[in-house]
Structure 1
């Protein structure tokens, strides 16, 4: 099979920014863990690690809905069906909005049983609750921040998508430093930093789509069910791919909490952070 240089350039132009972007998505939790761990010790670091599967679930929902919509968007656009392509953007936006409201409500009202199921107890529980409550208020920012990026990539904006994620990541670092170390806001500060970082990524994504004239919420009622079915059916795979590494994290956290307590969870957190970067790099090849 003959592969010309232009094909290679196009391949790496899309793949390299994607790898870097997915690697950054895995580092968000590391940043919070670093600042919290140095300020609050094992209890804070273990609380962030216990909470992370909930945060990952929220982001995985955004990834699944965004990629499900973006794939069908690209198919319809390649067929020259521009109205159909916009319909996929609209239904993805409505689904992201609906899941934002649903997940915000669930986390706000049921965070205590969720965290206990994940292994939080003792000093970890109130710290984890403090963190996840702030995160829940920013659920929409996280879902749209991760869900709109696939549309940017499929519109030829891989580099812009990377820049938007880098900007959000840098914002997270700056605010983590200010909120956690300078202003000593603890778990609340770390959660705010994460939410603000994801919010900036969402604003970049919205700006790109508006500039391209591709952001829309318009869809006829009779098109809602078939479009929803298409997006959800395709989105299940990227959702599962994004969420699957956290299943082992939840299991290990539970055993660590039972046999080693806060210190054991904190130790494994450092290992899990390194693993998450490698997995994110491989995921970026999608």
Structure 2
């Protein structure tokens, strides 16, 4: 049975498992890069609680770097897929060559600006004199390695477009495993602290960059990275940016939220509140990444069957995806509510971090059980071609509702107001999503 027949005829539960599992593994592996760093940094003797807060202050910057990686990476991947579908292999290779050059130029620009202005940037993002030293120590190394971060992240999307999702997953596995091995060596054995964590991350990114470049210049790839395609073409750049601007905007918005949150946490709490939130977000990533993997797996199944007017299969796919996502988040919710101190303690066992973190995680992630439904339903609209509705719903939870709540609630409830902003945003966005989702399902039924 060929791929098209499979999407339209094979058992939905089996299809969803086959398509989602590699994506879930990939998303979790990708998350491990940051999580492993934070676990080791938070456990550095004597300075762990301030060090993890310093790294928390760098999140908006690393998010911006990732945004540019998505702008080029996702835009390139989608454009290459379209050209290959049109049997325009040479043009697809030109797009790949242009993407590589764009990633190099943008990363070098970001590195130079970051190194020159990092003190001002970090201070304006909320870093205090106590945490600035650790934030700067971490980011200086990351800025020097930005070129490897962006090239590896950006071009890995193109490996999928080249028809090799397993190789794309292997790329992330190599980076995450290497980072996990090198972190304790540089942090504890070489006694390099926060700088050691950053060096381990950059070395891992160098390794994945070499792996990807070897793939696109070796015999395994269909598309080849060629020097003659490095000359930038305005039309090709525009086609990349047109598609990549949506995920880029989402990441920039996420960075703005992180900046507002860090400044609010510093104003209404202290440095340790930022450290606690860094840990809370890391823990939430563990349970949310599988949902994004289910999204990636369900998207082609929903899209194909919607196009084929097999609406019963569309509904069945969405149902299974929502159930699977909800199971993940309910497990996460139970772990957090029953073992909050143990979850926070994995990253740092300091009494001040634990006190703030245990209270914070129980409140901030109290609506975790509804997030699975909200994310899957938002993806449903994207899968059936209603990108504007999907983008609105995605922005609703993390930007449109969250930013005003972060600005208003702390003025009334202090630090608890920041923790409350999360569940209120989650519940309200899930409610609005449910209304739009079930209205659309009614249209399908008709």
Tell me if both proteins adopt one fold, taking TM over 0.5 as the criterion.
yes
Equivalence for 1:36: 41
Equivalent pair of 1:32/1:48 in contact (CA under 8 Å) = no
Equivalent residue, structure 2, for 1:63:
70
Give CA deviations for 1:117-174 in whole Å, capped at 9, x if unaligned.
Answer: 1110122111111110100000000001100111111112111111111110111111
Q: CA 1:60–1:8 in structure 2 vs 1: closer, same or farther (change >3 Å)?
A: farther
Could you tell me which residue of structure 2 aligns to residue 111 of structure 1? 118
Change in CA separation of 1:243 and 1:278 when aligned onto 2, cut-off 3 Å: farther
Given that 2:217 and 2:224 are in contact with CA atoms closer than 8 Å, whether structure 1 keeps it comes out as yes
* From 240, 251, 266, the counterpart of 2:260: 251
Q: Deviation of residue 18 (structure 1)?
A: 2.5
Among 184, 194, 206, the alignment partner of 1:199 is: 206
Aligned to 1:281: 290
Counterpart position of 1:27: 32
Alignment-derived partner of residue 332 in structure 2: none
In structure 1, runs of 5+ residues without a counterpart are none
Q: Are 2:84 and 1:83 equivalent residues in the alignment?
A: no
Distance 1:172 1:120, change over 3 A: same
What TM-score results when the alignment is normalised by the length of structure 2?
Answer: 0.60
- 2:60 equivalent among 50, 53, 58: 53
Name the structure, 1 or 2, with higher relative contact order (CA <8 Å, separation 6+). 1
SS of residue matched to 2:129:
coil
Residues matched between the structures, number: 285
2:281 pairs with 1:272: yes
Equivalent in the alignment of 1:174:
181
Aligned to 2:53, the other structure's residue is in SS state helix
4+ residue segments displaced more than 6 Å = 6-11
| Counterpart mapping for 1:99-178 below 5 A | 99-178=106-185
TM-score normalised by length of structure 1: 0.91
Partner residue, 2:376: none
Q: Radius of gyration: which is bigger?
A: 2
| Alignment partner, residue 215 of structure 1 | 225
**Contact 1:29-1:52 within 8 A present in 2 as well:** no
Post-superposition offset of 1:60: 2.4
